């Protein structure tokens, strides 16, 4: 190969690298390596002066290749490749050697770390001469955005994007948008009513011409790549012509099947088979439940709904529709599900009456809920005493290890609502630690103390119905150690509220696989970087917002939704986007036309060209996995940026020391 | 069907009826029980308090004998024995140092144990090996209308949880439902503690726990409490008069070994089941179920 | 042997689930939660001397419910061993004596002879017991639930050898 | 591996295996990054090489590594179902047994080449895998092909790489 002049730049990263790796030694060593013309060390290579070093060496010292030994390329490769470009070097002639995440941070012994740093760096030094200039592929960007999930996060993101004139597809699985927030009564700590602040946004989203609402729909398949996603959406049959339906709910009143547990009311009330989940639903359209409707389940029915429907909107023949949509960016806002307390058998949820989950209490305390906002036990009487048990399923190695962040606050909110409705009722909060981290939260906690709620520092041991004393007769008994007193107490109460944690949706994993990004070990969607890219995923063009990423309160969710919208906008507002040129190519001369690669390509990016009797790569479709390269017996397909000889050279370099 | 059988020390004294009824019940089911040769005390909780390895080693001696007798399973009827023996297995598997030490000790008496003998609770065998169908087929006296409160006690599935849920066991519920009884499946105290050995050392503490259990049984309108452990049975049944004396209560709740009630359903004669050995008479139970 | 789940003790969040679940904590000088707190504060001596460990019934509620997965029951055993080893058992508690009598009975016969156990325990610890128990004792006796003779297993000396061996091992280790 | 035990393994003059790890860019490379940001400690013996997908890893890469003096090779990719390229990792999994067969033909302990699924969230798993793998190869001892082989599997046409190509799934 021609004489190359390699510049090596080794970053101290303060003491992050230099604290463990002997940077001077590595620099000295690097200077002696083949083709290395210059080896420098610098405190912070990512700083402007650091980047200038590279630019200068290119301009003044004729550097033709460069390697930066510093942090992970996922962190700063773009930074340094840009610097190289600014210096007049093709960006792909610069490589990074990850001696921080993969070396200094994970190794204790300094000598060992220094040796490893040399190997990691050596691999890149050996590879560089074989690097060839590449041009990023510029592809057009589809300006439309898809938002998946119609809770407060999805609604907010969709509205923000629509306001910039972008077309937004808002996909919601349920018949109406609104998500969990629509089920809440009040919101902490300000206690403004959830409906009052949410419904305006819901109807705004419904009216917004730039938002195409796809309620009662689910994403089934995602193809393509940043700027050019092809999404299949299944629009489930409502058996209602939504153009004709006026949302008058006459079909609901007419329907003979009336005993379906209402999802929206957590099963505390019943709905008909033809239903509108709640009065403020958007879109305000009826849905016929195919699993309960007599006609749709093949039973006899006089179909009074049809008779009741003026505009003749009911259509039992309606079928699921499959839409194919093209968008440039996707925002995931699929939310959470409440951790089901049933497995925590010692709290007798589902076994004893009046042991209820937090979402059930949200509905009970809600003016539009099953009890009209009257806080009552199953027998219709107001509870004289209520225990609120914190950390149900949370901070527990047997269930969910993490803290769900919102439970302490919503539990305080419950206590307040109870005191507001029933001032005479005794309220006990059994907590491990009171976590009131947000704006105005600690003040709210103080306020509740003043409302003489009983705070017991201790995680409830069990909820029992066995009465050991007259005052326990017919009561639920909460057994808990008051750890501040060191005394175990038995609290006889009429109602127990289980403050369950927030859990990832049961199908979060499957969803993440459809869209092609990962989940964290706790099951929530994995962000690209926990601090600097909390709303991005590893897949360019796909963003996340709200509780699908991690439990968070409404303010944080709304803020994140805005951030995700901005991220998507920053992408789709451009005519084109540059994608990595590290894709495969096939030399028709060498190819024997054996078809192996054609069948193996995950993206059908290789097709067989009959007249050339050779396979050929469709560049637009190739995503650069390199499967074809590895599969070909004669090594004909090659992958730019990952040529065999480049990988071989890295191997050699990694083993010279 | 044939099982190696570890009766446990209580079976020779206060829990004699448990042993007798176990053999009778198994006979009715056509299952042969071969008593483990020259078995020794499992060590119970006391041994753990002296030297942990001692307790593992002497428990392992029994398992070693089972291995020598060429069997890979041993049937245990006492919750405490069950937990001690099963725990020995688990800890030997989890910690090679324990495995070494135990085998070193057994080596000193010319024995060895490979840790492969499965320790089985008799309830587990009844429901999961013999199976509810097979059992129900042989029921000749259904327990129709009898309100049975299955009392599992502590060490039935805690902490092992190998055949039933650690928090909420249900195996006995299913057994007696299959036998036609009106089982109190939501019996809230079913896994609470009876006080165990404490009955001798801190009677007040143990009596209080028994009082709570009997109170629960009454609240749930139980005709009979069934136990799967001689200690539980002894405390709840034998000491019932003392509970009454201490708390001024008038409990007279029959407490039976589950093998006695199951044996009854399988057509065994009360005598065969040593029901006359109970301190609290079982006659109400006999009266309650159609002959 | 290392302290059972000694590592886990570090992540105890002092939630009190153990003490709240404990059937006898109301009698204890320190509840299980406080025992772990004492551990972390380096005040083991306090809890070893306390009555706490002798009130543990080994019901394992704490162990299966602990959100940190601490094997609290095993911890109690470890503390009992310490207490016996360094003779720190509280004079007020009868359990240590019971433990000793039980183990002796097993060493002697190979099995626990309940009648002997009760008799010995009563005589050494509490003269009043026989009188408290005569009614029950009589019932049990007549029901054949209190055989006066103990079964002696053939392998009695095996148990002694086993204990002797382990004792020697422990001695060598120190 | 605890800090202490790693320290030991460094100061003592025991055999230090040289390992190459091919990490897929989307899952395993990020998993390794996470191990770093979480400051987990593991032995320094493995040098990572980034590929877009574990499916890119080709028997010749492994042969090359072993021939150049590596004592063991790790291939780490996304968990089944998580592949950024839909099913690239299935290709890897499918190819792996054949790689092993090949290695056995060459009289080499199969344990020297290991396949693992490490997601971007599994920093702890990455650290664990590298620790285990290092110890396993340490136990197997040096491979020492570098000194033995006169052929360079990297250059097509030479004996070694011919053998390789026979073994590639057709």
Domains of chain A: 6-135 (3.40.50), 145-236+321-335+505-572 (3.50.50.60), 337-503 (3.50.50.60), 584-639 (3.30.70.20)
Q: How far is C34 from chain A (nearest CA, A)?
A: 8
Q: Above 60 in pLDDT, residue A454?
A: yes
- Residue C3: the pLDDT is 56
Sheet holding A321-327, edge to edge: A217-225, A228-235, A321-327
- Angle, helices D28-37/D123-140, rounded to nearest 10 degrees: 100
Tell me what the mean pLDDT of segment A571-591 comes to. Answer: 94
Looking at residue A182, its pLDDT comes to 97
Select from D24, D30, D39, D123 the least CA-distant residue to D74: D24
φ, ψ (nearest 5 deg) of residue A213: -85, 125
- Same domain for C102 and C79, yes or no, is no
Which of B73 and C124 is assigned the larger pLDDT? B73
Cα distances (Å, whole numbers) of residue B11 to B233, B277, C156: 12, 13, 19
Give chain C's end-to-end CA distance (angstroms, integer): 12
pLDDT (average), residues B141-156 = 96
Q: Return phi, psi of residue B99, to 5°.
A: -55, -50
pLDDT bin (cut points 50, 70, 90) of residue D168 is very low
Q: Give the C window 77-106 contacts with B, CB below 8 Å.
A: 77-78, 80-81, 84, 93-95, 98-99, 102-103, 106
R_g (Cα) of chain A, nearest Å: 31
**pLDDT recorded at residue C120:** 81
Whose CA is closest to A63, among A117, A105, A9?
A: A9
Residues C49 and C67 in one domain: yes
In this structure, are residues D168 and D98 in contact, taking their beta carbons and an 8 Å threshold?
yes
* CATH code assigned at D44: 3.40.50
A 10 A CB-CB count for D13 gives 6
Predicted local confidence at residue D73, as pLDDT? 96
Buried b (16+ CB within 10 A) or exposed e, D28-38: bbbbbbbbbbe
Q: Do the beta carbons of residue C102 and residue B48 sit within 8 Å?
A: no
Three-state secondary-structure class, residue D76: strand
pLDDT for residue D103: 84
Q: Is the CB of residue C115 less than 8 Å away from at least one CB of chain B?
A: yes
Same structural domain, C136 and C70: no
Whether A53 contacts A20, CB under 8 Å: no
Q: Please judge whether B168 and A466 are an interchain contact, meaning their C-beta atoms are less than 8 angstroms apart.
A: no
pLDDT exceeds 50 at position B50 = yes
Residue A351, pLDDT > 70, answer: yes
Q: Which residues of A touch B186 (CB under 8 A)?
A: 351
Mean pLDDT calculated for residue range A515-540:
91
Please answer whether residues D80 and D27 qualify as being in contact, where contact means their C-beta atoms are separated by less than 8 angstroms.
no
Measured between CB atoms, which of B167, B168, B188 is closest to A466?
Answer: B188
pLDDT, position D41: 97
Contact call for residues B109 and B40 (beta carbons, < 8 A): no
Chains linked to D by 3 or more Cβ pairs within 8 Å: A
pLDDT-derived band at A635, boundaries 50, 70, 90: confident
Most B CBs within 10 A among C115, C151, C165, C170, hence the mutation to make, goes to C165
Q: For position A126, what pLDDT does the model report?
A: 96
Burial of A37 (0-12, 13-18, 19+ CB in 10 A): middle
Print the SS3 string covering A278-323.
CCCCCCCCCEECCCCCCCCCCCCCCCHHHHHCCCCCECCCCCCEEE
- Is D2 within the bounds of a domain? no
Instruction: Indicate the range of A338-347, A643-652, C141-150 predicted with least confidence.
Output: C141-150
Place of tokens 């463990």: A20
In this structure, how many other beta carbons lie within 10 angstroms of the beta carbon of residue A371? Answer: 17
Q: What is the pLDDT of residue B44?
A: 83
Whether the upstream peptide bond of residue A54 has omega within 30° of 0, thus cis, is no
Is D6 part of any domain?
Answer: no
Which of C51, C85, C119 corresponds to the end of one domain? Answer: C85
Residues A122-152, buried b or exposed e (16+ Cβ, 10 A)?
Answer: bbbbbbbbbbeebeebebebbbbbbbbbbbb
Full domain range(s) for residue D79: 17-140
Q: What angle do CA A499, A500, A505 make, to 5 degrees?
A: 150
Q: Choose among C14, C20, C34: nearest Cβ to A461.
A: C20
**Is residue A6 pLDDT above 90, yes or no?**
yes
The mean pLDDT of A331-360, rounded to a whole number, is 97
Residues near A485 by beta carbon (within 8 Å), at least 6 away in sequence: none
Task: Read off the pLDDT of each residue in A605-613 and give the average, rounded to a whole number.
Answer: 91
pLDDT of the residue at D148: 52
The alpha carbon of residue B137 is apart from the nearest alpha carbon of chain C, in Å, by 33
Does residue D101 lie within any of the structural domains? Answer: yes
The CA-to-CA distance between both ends of chain B, in Å, stands at 28
- Identify all chain A residues contacting C17, using CB atoms and an 8 Å cutoff: 459-461, 481
Considering the domain boundaries, does residue D49 fall inside one? yes
- Alpha-carbon distance of C144 to C148, in angstroms, equals 10
* Element holding A503 (H helix, E strand): strand A502-504
With an 8 Å Cβ cutoff, are D42 and A633 in contact? no
Answer whether B50 sits within 8 Å of C103, measured CB to CB: yes
Q: B268, B226 in Cβ contact below 8 A?
A: no
- Report yes or no on whether pTM surpasses 0.80: yes
Please tell me the predicted confidence (pLDDT) of residue A119. Answer: 97
> How is residue C102 written in tokens?
């039980």
Residues of C in contact with B57 (CB under 8 A): 162-163, 166
The pLDDT assigned to D1 comes to 43
What average pLDDT does the structure give for chain C?
Answer: 87
What is the DSSP-derived secondary structure letter of residue A132?
A: -
> Cβ–Cβ of A112/D36 closer than 8 Å?
no
Chain A touched by C63 (CB under 8 Å): no
Beta strands in A175-272 (DSSP E): 211-214, 217-225, 228-235, 260-261, 270-271
Task: Print the domain residue range for C132.
Answer: 95-173
> Is domain B2-121 annotated with CATH 3.40.50.300?
no
Q: Taking the domains of chain B in order of start, what are their residue ranges?
A: 2-121, 134-288
CATH number, domain with residue C69? 1.10.1060.10
Which of these, C97, C132, C139, C134, lies nearest to C117 by C-alpha position? C97
* Helical spans, DSSP H, in A16-109: 23-31, 48-61, 73-86
pLDDT at C64 exceeding the cut of 60: yes
Q: Would you say residue C141 lies in a domain?
A: yes
Instruction: Look at B188 and A348 and tell me if their CB atoms are within 8 Å.
Output: yes
Chain A CB within 8 Å of residue B168 CB: yes
Looking at residue A583, what is its pLDDT?
92
pLDDT at position D147 is 59
Phi and psi for A498 in degrees, rounded to 5? Answer: -95, 110
Cβ distance of A461 and C17 shorter than 8 Å: yes
Average pLDDT, chain A: 96
**CB atoms B166 and C84 under 8 Å:** no
Interchain pair A345, B165: CB under 8 A: yes
Separation of alpha carbons D165 and A313, rounded Å: 65
In whole angstroms, what is the distance from residue C99 CA to residue C120 CA? 12
Is C109 found in the same domain as C57? Answer: no
Per-residue pLDDT of A421-446, as tens digits, reads 999 999 999 999 999 999 999 999 99
Q: Is A465 on the interface with B (CB under 8 A)?
A: yes
Average pLDDT of the residues of chain D: 82
Token pair listed for A439: 């704006």
What is the pLDDT confidence band of residue C151, given thresholds at 50, 70 and 90?
confident
Residue C59: DSSP 8-state:
-
CA nearest A464 in C: which residue?
Answer: C21
Hey, what are A15's tokens? 């003491």
In terms of Cβ atoms closer than 10 Å to its own Cβ (0-12, 13-18, 19+), residue A438 is middle
pLDDT digits (tens, 9 = 90+) for B96-131: 999 999 999 999 999 999 999 999 999 999 999 999
* Calpha distance C18→A480 (Å, rounded): 9
Q: Is residue C1 assigned to a domain?
A: no
pLDDT at C2 exceeding the cut of 70: no
* Mutation target among A347, A466, A476 for the B interface, most CBs of B within 10 A: A466
**Which three-class secondary structure string do you get for chain B?**
CEEEEECCHHHHCCCHHHHHHHHHHHHHCCCEEEECCCCCCCCHHHHHCCCHHHHHHHHHHHHHHHHHCCCCEEEECCHHHHHHHHHHHHHHHHCHHHHHHHHHHHHCCCCCCCCCCEEEEHHHHHHHHHHHHHHHHCCCCCCCCCEEEEECCCCCCCCCCCCCCCCCCCHHHHHHHHCCCEECCCCCCCCCCCCCCHHHHCHHHHHHHHHHHHHHHHHCCCCEEEECCHHHHHHHHHCHHHHHHHHCCCCCCCEEEHHHHHHHHCCCCCCCCCHHHCCCCCHHHHHHCCC
The answer to whether residue B85 scores a pLDDT higher than 50 is: yes
**A397/C17 CB distance under 8 A:** no
Instruction: Measure B265 CA to nearest chain C CA, in Å.
Output: 23
Chain A contacts of B165, Cβ < 8 Å?
345
Q: What pLDDT is recorded for position C115?
A: 83
- Cβ distance C16 to A480 less than 8 Å, yes or no, reads yes
> Domain total for chain C?
2
pLDDT in tens, A26-65: 999 999 999 999 999 999 999 999 999 999 999 999 999 9
Smallest CA–CA distance from C67 into chain A, residue: A396
Out of A607-621, B268-282, D59-73, D152-166, which region has the weakest mean confidence (pLDDT)? D152-166
Number of separate domains in chain D: 1
Taking the alpha carbons at both ends of chain D, their separation in whole angstroms is 41
Among D95, D81, D77, which Cα is nearest to D23's? D77
Q: How many residues does chain B have?
A: 291
CB pair distance less than 8 Å for A602 and D51: no
Cα end-to-end distance, chain A, whole Å: 23
Number of helical (H) and strand (E) elements in chain A, helices listed first: 16, 32
Q: Do C67 and A397 touch (CB under 8 A)?
A: yes
DSSP string, A544-600: E-GGGTS---HHHHHHHHHHHHHHHHHHHTSSEEEE----EE--TTT-----HHHHH
Question: Where among C25, C52, C85 does a domain terminate?
Answer: C85
**Residue A346 to residue C65, Cβ atoms within 8 A:** yes
Q: For chain D, what's the residue count? A: 170
Separation between Cα atoms, residue A14 and residue D47, nearest integer Å: 23
For C91, other C-beta atoms within 10 Å of its C-beta total 6
Identify the residue whose tokens are 């001032």: A423
Choose among D36, D69, D82: nearest Cβ to A105. Answer: D36
Task: Report the C-alpha gap between D154 and D164 in whole angstroms.
Answer: 10
Assess whether C105 and C59 both reside in one domain.
no
CATH topology of domain B134-288: Rossmann fold (3.40.50)
Q: Is the pLDDT of residue C125 over 80?
A: no
**Which of B88, B104, B161, B200 best tests the C interface by mutation, with the highest count of C CBs <10 A?**
B200
Q: At what angle do helices C72-85 and C95-109 cross, to 10 degrees?
A: 80
Rounded distance, CA B161 to CA B155, Å?
9
User: What SS3 class is residue D58?
Assistant: coil
Number of cross-chain residue pairs from A and C with Cβ atoms under 8 Å apart: 63
Tell me, what's the pLDDT at C127?
67
């Amino acid at each position: 190969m021609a004489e190359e002049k390699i510049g090596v730049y080794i970053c101290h990263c303060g003491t992050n690298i230099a604290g463990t790796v002997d940077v001077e030694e590595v620099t000295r060593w690097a200077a002696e390596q083949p083709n290395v013309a210059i080896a420098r060390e610098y405190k912070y290579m990512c700083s402007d002066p650091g980047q200038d070093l590279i630019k200068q060496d290119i301009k003044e010292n004729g550097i033709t290749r460069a390697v930066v030994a510093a942090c992970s390329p996922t962190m700063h490769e773009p930074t340094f490749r840009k610097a190289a470009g600014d210096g007049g070097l093709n960006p792909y002639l610069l490589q990074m050697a990850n001696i921080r995440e993969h070396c200094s941070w994970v190794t204790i012994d300094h000598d060992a770390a220094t040796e490893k740093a040399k190997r990691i760096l050596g691999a890149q030094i050996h590879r560089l001469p074989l690097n060839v200039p590449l041009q990023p592929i510029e592809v057009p960007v589809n300006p439309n955005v898809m938002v998946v999930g119609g809770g407060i996060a999805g609604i907010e993101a969709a509205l923000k994007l629509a306001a910039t004139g972008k077309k937004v597809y808002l996909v919601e699985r349920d018949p109406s948008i609104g998500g969990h927030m629509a089920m809440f009564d009040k919101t902490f700590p300000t206690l403004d009513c959830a409906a009052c602040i949410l419904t305006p946004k819901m109807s705004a989203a419904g009216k917004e011409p730039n938002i195409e609402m796809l309620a009662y729909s689910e994403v089934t398949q995602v193809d393509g790549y940043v700027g050019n996603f092809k999404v299949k959406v299944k629009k489930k049959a409502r058996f209602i012509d939504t153009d004709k339906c006026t949302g008058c709910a006459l079909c609901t009143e007419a329907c003979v099947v009336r005993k379906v547990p209402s999802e929206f009311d957590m099963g505390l009330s019943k709905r008909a088979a033809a239903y509108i989940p709640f009065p403020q639903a958007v879109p305000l359209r009826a849905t016929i439940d195919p699993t309960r409707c007599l006609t749709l389940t093949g039973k006899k029915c006089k179909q009074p709904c049809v008779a009741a429907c003026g505009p003749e909107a009911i259509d039992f023949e309606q079928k699921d529709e499959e839409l194919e949509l093209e968008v440039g960016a996707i925002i995931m806002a699929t939310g959470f599900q409440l951790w089901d307390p049933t497995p925590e058998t010692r709290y007798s949820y589902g076994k004893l009456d009046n042991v209820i989950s937090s979402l059930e209490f949200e509905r009970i305390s809600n003016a539009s809920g099953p009890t009209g906002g009257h806080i009552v036990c199953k027998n219709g009487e107001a509870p004289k005493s209520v225990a609120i048990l914190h950390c149900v399923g949370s901070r527990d190695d047997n269930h969910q290890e993490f803290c769900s962040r919102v439970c302490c606050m919503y539990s305080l909110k419950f206590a307040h609502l109870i005191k507001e409705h029933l001032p005479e009722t005794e309220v006990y909060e059994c907590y491990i630690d009171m976590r009131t981290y947000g704006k105005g939260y600690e003040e709210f906690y103080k306020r509740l103390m003043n409302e003489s709620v009983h705070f017991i520092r201790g995680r409830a041991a069990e909820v029992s119905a066995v009465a050991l004393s007259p005052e326990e007769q017919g009561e639920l008994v909460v057994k808990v150690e008051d750890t501040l007193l060191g005394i175990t107490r038995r609290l006889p109460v009429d109602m127990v509220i289980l403050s369950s944690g927030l859990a990832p949706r049961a199908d979060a994993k499957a969803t993440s696989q459809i869209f092609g990004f990962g989940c964290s070990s706790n099951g929530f969607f994995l962000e690209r970087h926990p601090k600097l890219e909390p709303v991005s995923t590893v897949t360019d063009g796909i963003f996340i917002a709200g509780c699908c990423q991690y439990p968070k309160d409404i303010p944080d969710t709304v803020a994140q939704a805005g951030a995700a919208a901005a991220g998507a906008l920053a992408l789709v507002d451009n005519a084109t986007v540059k994608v990595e040129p590290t894709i495969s190519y096939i030399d028709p001369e060498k190819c024997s036309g054996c078809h192996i690669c054609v069948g193996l390509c995950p993206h059908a990016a290789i097709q067989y060209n009959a007249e050339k009797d050779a396979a050929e790569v469709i560049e637009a479709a190739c995503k650069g996995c390199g499967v074809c390269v590895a599969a070909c017996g004669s090594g004909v397909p090659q992958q730019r940026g990952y040529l065999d000889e480049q990988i071989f050279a890295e191997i050699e370099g990694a083993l010279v020391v | 069907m044939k099982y190696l059988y570890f009766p446990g020390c209580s079976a020779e004294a206060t829990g004699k009826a448990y042993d007798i009824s176990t053999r009778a019940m198994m006979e009715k089911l056509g299952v042969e029980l071969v008593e483990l040769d020259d078995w020794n005390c499992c060590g119970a909780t006391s041994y753990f308090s002296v030297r942990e390895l001692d307790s593992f080693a002497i428990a392992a001696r029994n398992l070693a004998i089972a291995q020598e007798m060429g069997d890979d399973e041993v049937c245990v009827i006492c919750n405490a024995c069950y937990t001690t023996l099963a725990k020995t297995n688990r800890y030997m598997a989890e910690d090679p140092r324990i495995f070494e030490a135990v085998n070193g000790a057994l080596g000193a008496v010319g024995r060895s144990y490979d840790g492969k003998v499965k320790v089985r609770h008799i309830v587990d065998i009844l429901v999961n090996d013999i199976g509810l169908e097979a059992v129900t087929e042989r029921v000749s006296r259904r327990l129709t209308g009898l309100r049975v409160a299955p009392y599992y006690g502590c060490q039935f599935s805690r902490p092992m949880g190998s055949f039933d849920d650690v928090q909420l066991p249900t195996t006995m519920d299913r057994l007696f439902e299959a036998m036609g009884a009106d089982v109190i499946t939501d019996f809230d105290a079913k896994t609470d503690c009876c006080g165990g050995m404490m009955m001798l050392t801190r009677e007040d503490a143990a009596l209080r726990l028994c009082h709570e259990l009997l109170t629960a049984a009454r609240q749930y309108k139980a005709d009979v409490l069934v136990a799967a452990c001689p200690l539980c049975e002894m405390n709840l049944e034998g000491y019932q008069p003392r509970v009454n004396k201490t708390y001024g209560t008038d409990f007279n709740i029959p407490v039976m070994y589950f093998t006695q009630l199951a044996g009854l359903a399988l057509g065994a004669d009360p005598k065969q089941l040593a029901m006359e050995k109970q301190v609290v008479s079982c006659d109400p139970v006999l009266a309650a179920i159609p002959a | 042997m290392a302290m059972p789940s000694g590592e886990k003790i570090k992540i105890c969040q002092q939630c009190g689930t153990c003490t709240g679940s404990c059937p006898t904590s109301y009698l204890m000088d320190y509840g299980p939660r406080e025992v772990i707190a004492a551990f972390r504060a380096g005040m083991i001596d306090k809890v070893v001397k306390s009555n706490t460990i002798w009130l543990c019934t080994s019901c394992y509620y704490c162990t299966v419910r602990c959100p940190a997965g601490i094997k609290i029951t095993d911890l109690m055993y470890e503390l009992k061993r310490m207490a016996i080893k360094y003779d720190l058992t509280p004079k007020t508690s009868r359990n240590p004596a019971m433990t000793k009598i039980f183990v002796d009975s097993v060493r002697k016969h190979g099995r626990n002879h309940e009648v002997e156990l009760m008799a010995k325990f009563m005589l050494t610890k509490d003269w009043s017991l026989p009188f408290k128990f005569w009614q029950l004792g009589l019932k049990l006796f007549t029901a054949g639930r209190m055989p006066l003779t103990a079964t002696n297993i053939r392998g009695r000396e095996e148990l002694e050898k086993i204990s002797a061996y382990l004792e020697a091992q422990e001695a060598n280790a120190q | 591996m605890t800090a202490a035990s790693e320290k030991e393994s460094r100061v003592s003059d025991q055999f230090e295996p040289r390992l190459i790890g091919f990490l897929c860019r989307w899952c395993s490379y990020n998993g390794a990054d996470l191990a770093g940001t979480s400051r987990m400690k593991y032995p320094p013996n493995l040098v990572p090489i980034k590929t877009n997908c574990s499916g890119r890893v080709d028997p010749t890469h492994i042969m090359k590594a072993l021939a150049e003096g590596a004592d063991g090779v790790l291939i780490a990719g996304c968990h089944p179902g998580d592949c950024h390229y839909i099913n690239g990792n299935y290709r890897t999994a499918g190819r792996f047994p054949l790689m092993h067969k090949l290695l056995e033909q060459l009289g080499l302990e199969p344990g020297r080449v290991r396949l693992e699924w490490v997601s971007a969230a599994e920093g702890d798993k990455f650290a664990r895998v590298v620790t285990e793998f290092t110890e396993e190869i340490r136990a197997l001892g040096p491979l020492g092909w570098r000194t033995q082989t006169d052929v360079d599997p990297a250059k097509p046409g030479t004996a070694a790489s011919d053998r390789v190509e026979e073994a590639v799934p057709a």
